[in-house]
Amino acid sequence: MAVTSQPPQSEPFRCDVVPARRAVHIRPLGELDLDTAPVVARELQQLRDAGFDDLVLDLQGVTFADSTALRMMLVWNELSHADGFAFRLIRGPEAVQRLFDLTATEPYFDFAE
């Protein structure tokens, strides 16, 4: 009798929203890429439409980020400067931070502690 093992299933992507005293934290968990960056962008837009003016994108739970994710973050960063609301990032794991290093875009963002 042969025993077959199933490959481990990766966790599905999700995006948690955590209100804080001044800011609202958006915490994507999983890969932030072509499929999931629009989910985060929609969440950010819904929060802006609801009147939040201090948005923090927490990248600690992101396992991978591609150029689509970077583009989405750059767009939201630019929107924040044009419209006068705060958009900050919380640093992610080394694999995610490498994207900022390779593209020399880290200086464009406000990183929260």
Condensed to tens digits (0 to 9), the pLDDT of residues 8-20 reads 556 778 777 766 6
How high is the pLDDT of residue 1? 40
Q: Burial letters for 37-74: b for 16+ Cβ neighbours within 10 Å, e otherwise?
A: beebbebbeebbeeebebbbbbbebbbebeebbbebbe
Q: What's the rounded mean pLDDT across residues 42-67?
A: 95
Query: With contact defined as beta carbons under 8 Å apart, do 38 and 70 qualify?
Result: no
How high is the pLDDT of residue 6? 47
Task: Decide which of 97 and 18 is more confident.
Answer: 97
Query: With contact defined as beta carbons under 8 Å apart, do 49 and 18 qualify?
Result: no
Q: Can you give the residue ranges of every domain in the chain? A: 14-112
Contacts of 107 (CB under 8 A, 6+ apart): none
Condensed to tens digits (0 to 9), the pLDDT of residues 59-79 reads 999 999 999 999 999 999 999
> For all residues of the chain together, what is the average pLDDT?
89
Q: What's the rounded mean pLDDT across residues 33-57?
A: 95
**What's the token pair of residue 56?**
């923090």
Q: What's the rounded mean pLDDT across residues 80-85?
A: 96
How high is the pLDDT of residue 5? 42
> To the nearest whole percent, how much of the chain has pLDDT over 90?
78
Helix axes 67-83, 37-49, angle to 10 degrees: 20
Give residue 22's identity as a one-letter amino acid code.
R
Q: What's the rounded mean pLDDT across residues 17-29?
A: 81
Q: Which fold has domain 14-112?
A: Transcription Regulator spoIIAA (3.30.750)
